[in-house]
Amino acid sequence: LLQDTGSWPASFHIGRRATLAEINALDIDIRPDGKGLPPGQGNALSGQTIYTAKCAACHGTGTAAMNVQLPGPALMNDSAGANRKKLRTIGNYWPYATTIFDYIRRSMPYNAPGTLTPDEVYSITAYLLYANRIIDQQTMMNAASLPAVEMPAKKLFIADDRQGGPEIR
Amino acid sequence: LLQDTGSWPASFHIGRRATLAEINALDIDIRPDGKGLPPGQGNALSGQTIYTAKCAACHGTGTAAMNVQLPGPALMNDSAGANRKKLRTIGNYWPYATTIFDYIRRSMPYNAPGTLTPDEVYSITAYLLYANRIIDQQTMMNAASLPAVEMPAKKLFIADDRQGGPEIR
Amino acid sequence: LFKSSYGRMIQTAIPESLYTDDPTKVVGPPPGAVGARSPFEHPVKKASDTSSRTPLQDLYGTITPADLHYERHHAGVPVIDPHKYELLIHGMVDKPMVFTLADLKRFPSVSRTCFLECSGNFRSNKETLTPQEICGLTSQSEWTGVMLTTLFREVGVQPRASWFLAEGGDAAVMTRSVPVRKAWDDAMIVYAQNGEAIRPEQGYPARLLLPGWEGNTNVKWLRRLELSDQPFMTREETSRYTYPVKDRIRQFSFEMDARSIITFPAFPQQVEKGWIEIRGIAWSGWGKIAQVEVSTNAGKTWQPARLQEPVLDKAHTAFRYLWQWNGETTEILSRATDETGYTQPTIQQLLNARGADMGGYHLNPVTAWVIQRDGKVLFRPEKWK
Amino acid sequence: LFKSSYGRMIQTAIPESLYTDDPTKVVGPPPGAVGARSPFEHPVKKASDTSSRTPLQDLYGTITPADLHYERHHAGVPVIDPHKYELLIHGMVDKPMVFTLADLKRFPSVSRTCFLECSGNFRSNKETLTPQEICGLTSQSEWTGVMLTTLFREVGVQPRASWFLAEGGDAAVMTRSVPVRKAWDDAMIVYAQNGEAIRPEQGYPARLLLPGWEGNTNVKWLRRLELSDQPFMTREETSRYTYPVKDRIRQFSFEMDARSIITFPAFPQQVEKGWIEIRGIAWSGWGKIAQVEVSTNAGKTWQPARLQEPVLDKAHTAFRYLWQWNGETTEILSRATDETGYTQPTIQQLLNARGADMGGYHLNPVTAWVIQRDGKVLFRPEKWK
Ligand code: HEC
Ligand code: HEC
Ligand SMILES: [Ca+2]
Ligand SMILES: [Ca+2]
Ligand SMILES: [Ca+2]
Ligand SMILES: [Ca+2]
Ligand SMILES: [Ca+2]
Ligand SMILES: [Ca+2]
Ligand SMILES: [Co+2]
Ligand SMILES: [Co+2]
């Protein structure tokens, strides 16, 4: 399948060099070490207001499954790390706090993705960490503090050890 | 690709036996030896009338290409076996007279296929043989006489001798 | 006189009025610009809010028609103008670059036929499930595009780069981290499917193709690749597409394990006593299918099925097994073995390996069909929760 | 607020109003029952009154999408009710039998990928011809059905039977005589194409498939087979599908000789100086393609092209050749060699073998594309009449 590239030129001279501005316009991802986080900040107090306005309609404010079926999954658990078998949430299943920022900024609100400011995303992230009993209501989330948050579920994650061969894993 | 049929039963018992009536309803083909020809007859005189009514609109009555583009190909040549390079017709290109009967009965008239009676098909066949200078105007075509007609082009036909391998044929 | 519709019909909409008792008497529509299915055939995907499933029980051979390819999107299908499309490759590379679609098509190209499968591809809750409902989140296409190595060579991927982020241009801006080793192995960026431009639902105009790896990593509507020395830990590889195994959560489960399913006879078919060709498909994300075995006595004994040649790497492989049914109630099953020696497990073997809380991803159990005395075929549900 | 179309759109008709500058900001249509092409892609067959041609220059890889498969009918496309469909096999058999479509599907089945080609597949009259116009009367599918031997075994074909008549159920009631040896070799009756039921234009619900043999013998809408000890000399094998060779008329030319065509670059493409991957397809009715050679200097020297694996028997085989164009006017050509050692000839070699009056069937000459200084690509017409 792979080509015999022995006779290939060092470059085909197809495509063009990307400019820094082009890269910055698309480079929205956040790594666990915080690389990619923008300037800005917010805490759970401001986050709760935004969440109520822009998120609660789909995700609810409760922690348990309600009788009504909501468009989006529940995001909160009563106590960090608990009830994982019943309900998988940020508090008991997410290994990195940076993922919350990254995902909300790129994909939420579902019906208007990419519309939140960095301060709004920091605030909502802080609120979701607070509502999952991981940080307190005043703690400011920013490029320095967010990657430092220790997530309860982190220790549970292991890399896949399947490797082909007869053993069922 | 072919299956290993070693373990197969002698019959899968799928499908059913055909009845004679079923076979006869579909078995409309005519072989060069006349097998399949129905009872009936006709000659070029009666054939010309039917041809004019049911065929000429698409095939014309002339022998050469006319200025108007007809829906169907020309069927006649001035003299049997001539002008093959200019115009391929029954007279100079068709090796078997039975093919005329077979084809007209199954496929013509193009817009009403399968509507001609055996007598009509014998008559038109006789007319086309006559118009191509192969038989005369009175000769009756029927199950005995039609297969006996010697077609001028027959001697030209050879079986394909290509057989794969380097030679270009 | 004019029964003929010659020249007046368009073939993409043959009206019922044309139906006739004897088609040999009516001239049909002439050749057309684009064909269409017979008005008597209506294969359809089964759609939910988030996915739609290939009708495996209605298909033959190994190719999935492009319009019946399973779908799983996280924010619907974007409409992407191919003239505006660009792919950015940056991060740990010597030369960050932008490629247009026309650029991608100019590079040396490769075609390969392989399956895609969503790692959440399993349902088992009742007897009246079709193959489509049980595991219709898998399909197969002939893909054409450029090897990812060809592009990585062009941008100069740095030796320390060990992961890359693949990002889609849909409204979910879908992202997954992929080990760079998969690029050196067989990853592609594909722009064509079954001979034509890739379909919108499958990532038009270009997607990542990671043969054998879980569907979600094959990022559609690909807009960006970023090379890095670590994974990015996106939502799709932490909150989703991970699963409890005993007391831990297993992450980065890429390869789809060997699997098979009998697609005939299957619910809702009803069969007759006598010779039956048992048919199905088998596949493995680890390589070629080495063997498929079929049992017609509820798993007591197993016989090898015939595999349709050519057996391709990481590809749906048709299998067939000739069986004479005596009219007694029984169960038929299939199990695939791949070239690494892995044999498709039972649900019990999976439970033993992963624990009772094993979650819904990467489940590939042997599935059984019950043939009743009346010839009706029912799925045998697996209960483990 | 409601830019979102989530849940309201149907994917088979994405309206222009959904086009957006930034698809990452607009949720798209959800998964659907049947997919559709991107609104930016419009591959079409080129139709005349009697045939329509596959857009080879728009395709990738080796599968032809079923709705773009070439068409050649002699009285249009019949509408056949699959529930009423029957195939009769009679003549020199021990047991004349009738099979319904359901019967055919119950027999042991086989899938194979091969090309079909009309033996009249060649045009050469002007410079501005596309691959579709030059030789678009060939297409490729994955076919599924029953081996003809399986049915011949069932009816008990008599040892003296040497030919069979194949008859269609269209308004031409198309007939061809076929040597029985082809049945023992690899003939099939197929009911599926590219994974789904065969399309109406290709013979729904069942057709004869004679891999590698001229398209017309692969009788569509098959209703009857009659075993005989001689050919029937139907119109399609006497007046048509025969051709002058020197002073004789060659009949029963079944196998399609080896052939290839470059589909990129080709008219109406315009290319740029630099690296170009020359692409095309090659095929032979006699077996596998053994080699394709490409010349970029008007035939002075030839280099082997890469063949896309797997190379299948009697199948379109994709070839590719990497070339650096220096901007000078030149001609590019391809020529196929099959496993029998036959190499695709020039038109002059065909003329030498067949004479000046050689007719229009079974012409497979090497075709050349002229690359002009401005990058425009033109066909080089062959003049011989
Ligand atoms: C119109 C409905 C809707 C709104 C409004 C909405 N969401 Fe969502 N959200 C969803 C859906 C649907 C998903 C699941 C998407 C998927 O699985 O691809 C989701 C997923 C999420 C997830 C991931 C959950 C998990 O378990 O993986 C987070 C976090 C989230 N939303 C946060 C937010 C925030 C914060 C807001 C407001 C700023 C918001 N959402 C507004 C519908 C919505
Ligand atoms: C509505 C137009 C039309 C009418 C009426 C019609 N034909 Fe035809 N005929 C055609 C066409 C078109 C073809 C070519 C069909 C093909 O090539 O598949 C044809 C082909 C033929 C051929 C074969 C010619 C060859 O060179 O192979 C014969 C013979 C023929 N017709 C005889 C007849 C006769 C006899 C009648 C009247 C009983 C008739 N046709 C009425 C349109 C017509
Ligand atoms: Ca980044
Ligand atoms: Ca007969
Ligand atoms: Ca048509
Ligand atoms: Ca792994
Ligand atoms: Ca969709
Ligand atoms: Ca031959
Ligand atoms: Co998935
Ligand atoms: Co043809």
In the prediction, which pLDDT does C9 show? 29
Q: How confident is the model at residue A6 (pLDDT cuts 50, 70, 90)?
A: confident
The answer to whether C197 faces chain A, any CB pair under 8 Å, is no
Class of domain A40-63+73-155: mainly alpha
Do D278 and D264 touch, CB atoms closer than 8 A?
yes
In this prediction, residue B77 carries a pLDDT of 78
Helix count and strand count (H, E) for chain B = 6, 4
Q: What is the pLDDT of residue D3?
A: 28
Alpha-carbon gap, residue D15 to C79, rounded angstroms: 10
Kindly state the helix (H) or strand (E) to which residue D368 belongs, with its residue range: strand D368-371
Phi-psi region of D195 (alpha: psi -120 to 50; beta: other; left: phi over 0): left
| Dist CA C65 CA C332 (whole Å) | 28
CA D256 to centroid of ligand 8, rounded, Å: 9
Where do we find the tokens 């052939």?
D259
Residue nearest to atom 43 of ligand 2 (CA): B110
D335's CB contacts (< 8 A; 6+ apart) are: D260, D292, D293, D295, D302, D343, D344, D366
Mean pLDDT of the residues in chain C: 94
Interchain pair D3, A111: CB under 8 A: yes
Strand partners, C249: A157, C244
> Nearest CA of chain D to the CA of B72: how many Å?
12
pLDDT of residue D171: 97
- Taking the Cβ of residue A107 and every Cβ of chain D, the question of whether any pair is shorter than 8 Å is answered with no
Q: List % helix, strand, coil for chain C (3-state, nearest 5).
A: 15, 35, 50
Kindly give the parts of chain D with pLDDT less than 70: 1-19
Question: How many other β-carbons are positioned within 10 Å of the β-carbon of residue B13?
Answer: 13
Q: How far apart are CA D90 and CA D81, in angstroms?
A: 23
pLDDT tops 50 at residue B130 = yes
Neighbours of A28 (CB within 10 A): 17
Nearest Cα to Cα of residue C70 among B65, A164, A5, D34: D34
Q: Provide the pLDDT for residue C20.
A: 72
Tokens matching residue D268: 């109406």
pLDDT-derived band at C191 (thresholds 50, 70, 90) equals very high
Which range among A65-74, B55-64, C187-196, D216-225 shows the weakest confidence by mean pLDDT? A65-74
Where does the pLDDT of residue C268 fall: very low under 50, low under 70, confident under 90, or very high at 90 and above? very high
How far, in Å, is the centroid of ligand 8 from the Cα of D213? 9
Distance CA B84, CA B76 (A): 11
Scan residues 8-47 of D and list those with Cβ closer than 8 Å to A: 22, 24-25, 27
Cα(B35)–Cα(B31) distance, integer angstroms = 5
- Alpha carbons C242 and C354: distance in angstroms, whole number: 13
Question: pLDDT (tens digit, 9 = 90+) per residue, A148-158?
Answer: 999 999 999 99
Our answer on whether the CB atom of A54 is closer than 6 Å to any ligand 1 atom is yes
The per-residue pLDDT for D325 is: 98
Longest dimension (CA), chain B: 65
**Whether D70 contacts D116, CB under 8 Å:** yes
User: Which tens digits make up the pLDDT trace of C212-229?
Assistant: 999 999 999 999 999 999
Q: What is the structure's pLDDT at A91? A: 93
- Give dist(CA A169, CA D227) in Å, integer: 58
Distance from CA of D361 to the nearest CA of B (A): 13
| CA D265–ligand 1 middle distance (angstroms) | 47
Q: Which residues fall inside 5 Å of ion ligand 4, going by CB?
A: B 27, 29, 36; D 226
Q: Is A109 in the pocket of ligand 1 (CB under 6 A)?
A: yes
* Contact indicator for A131, A50 with CB cutoff of 8 Å: no
Q: Looking at the CA of D256, name the nearest ligand.
A: 8
Phi–psi pair at C252, nearest 5 degrees: 55, 45
- From the CA of A28, which ligand is nearest? 3
Q: How confident is the model at residue B3 (pLDDT cuts 50, 70, 90)?
A: low
Helix %, strand %, coil % for chain A, to 5? 35, 5, 60
On the question of pLDDT at A79 being above 50, the answer is yes
Name all chains with 3 or more CB-CB pairs below 8 Å to chain B.
C, D
Q: How far apart are the first and last CA of chain B?
A: 29
Residue D162, token pair as written in the block: 């040497």
What is the spatial distance between Cα D88 and Cα D110, in angstroms, rounded to a whole number? 21
- Give the pLDDT confidence score for residue B124 in this predicted structure: 98
Q: What is the pLDDT of residue C17?
A: 53
Ligand with an atom nearest the CA of residue C6? 2
For chain B, say whether C3 makes contact (Cβ under 8 Å): yes
Q: Is D126 on the interface with B (CB under 8 A)?
A: no
Range C256-270 average pLDDT: 97
Does A105 sit in the ligand 1 pocket, CB within 6 Å?
no
How far apart (Å, rounded) are the C-alpha atoms in residues D222 and D87? 7
Q: What is the 3-state secondary structure (H, E, C) of C102-120?
A: HHHHHCCCEEEEEEEECCC
**Subunit contact C275:B111, Cβ cutoff 8 A:** no
In sequence order, the 6+-apart residues with CB closer than 8 A to the CB of A40 are A117, A118, A119, A121, A122, A142, A143
Interatomic CA distance for residues C334 and C292, integer angstroms: 7
pLDDT band at A77 (very low <50, low <70, confident <90, very high): confident
Residue numbers in B near C24 (CB within 8 A) = 106, 113-114
C-alpha dist (Å) from residue D384 to B85, D241, D248: 14, 20, 19
Superfamily holding B40-65+72-150: Cytochrome c-like domain (1.10.760.10)
Phi and psi, residue A8, nearest 5°: -80, 150
Separation of alpha carbons D20 and D15, rounded Å = 11
Tell me, what amino acid is at C118?
C
pLDDT tier, C312 (very low <50, low <70, confident <90, very high otherwise): very high
ipTM of the assembly? 0.94
- Are D104 and D205 a contacting pair, CB within 8 Å? no
**Encoded amino acid at B87, one letter:** L
Q: Tell how far the Cα of B119 is from the centroid of ligand 3, in angstroms.
A: 85
DSSP H helical ranges for D156-311: 180-185
Quote the ligand 5 centre to C29 CA distance (angstroms).
6
Residues 305-344 of C with CB under 8 A from A: 313, 338, 340-343
Per-residue pLDDT of C100-118, as tens digits, reads 999 999 999 999 999 999 9
**Given this model, what pLDDT does residue D356 score?**
92
Q: Do D186 and B88 touch (CB under 8 A)?
A: no
Q: For the purposes of burial, counting CB atoms within 10 Å of the CB of C269, is it exposed (0-12), middle (13-18) or buried (19 or more)?
A: middle
Domains of chain D: 1-42 (no CATH), 51-250 (3.90.420.10), 259-379 (2.60.40.650)
Sequence-ordered strand ranges (E) for chain A: 16-17, 157-159
Output phi, psi for B153, to 5 deg: -80, -10
**Which A residues in the span 74-93 are in contact with C, Cβ-Cβ below 8 Å?**
84-85, 88, 90, 93
| pLDDT tens-digit series, residues B72-125 | 999 987 665 556 677 889 999 999 999 999 999 999 999 999 999 999 999 999
Amino acid in position C119: S
Q: Round to the nearest angstrom and report the end-to-end CA distance of chain D.
A: 69
* Residue B1 pLDDT > 60: no
Q: Higher-confidence residue: B132 or B64?
A: B132
* Residue C175 touches partner A, C-beta closer than 8 Å: yes
- Asked if residue B2 has pLDDT above 60, the reply is no
Q: What is the pLDDT of residue D6?
A: 29
Cβ pair D79:C200 closer than 8 A: no
Residue A73's nearest CA partner among D26, C135, D2, C49 is: C49
Measured N-to-C along each axis, helices A97-107 and A118-131 cross at an angle, to the nearest 10 degrees, of 130
Contact (Cβ atoms closer than 8 angstroms) between residue B47 and residue B127: yes
Q: Is A121 in the pocket of ligand 1 (CB under 6 A)?
A: no
Confidence at residue D10, expressed as pLDDT on a 0 to 100 scale? 30
Give the position of tokens 């076996």. Answer: B81
> Who's near D246: CB < 8 A, 6+ residues apart?
D354, D355
* d(CA D208, ligand 10 centre) in Å: 14
3-state secondary structure of D238: coil
Quick one: which of C212, C158, C160 has its CA closest to C188?
C212
Q: How many A/D residue pairs have CB atoms within 8 Å?
A: 34
Q: Distance between the two ends of chain A, CA-based, in angstroms? A: 29
Contact D82, D103 (CB under 8 A): no
Check residue C8 and give its pLDDT. Answer: 28
Q: What CA–CA distance (Å, rounded) separates D337 from D293?
A: 8
Tokens encoding A122: 């920091």
Rounded CA gap, C226 and C175, in Å? 11
Q: Report the largest interatomic distance among the alpha carbons of chain A, rounded to a whole angstrom.
A: 65
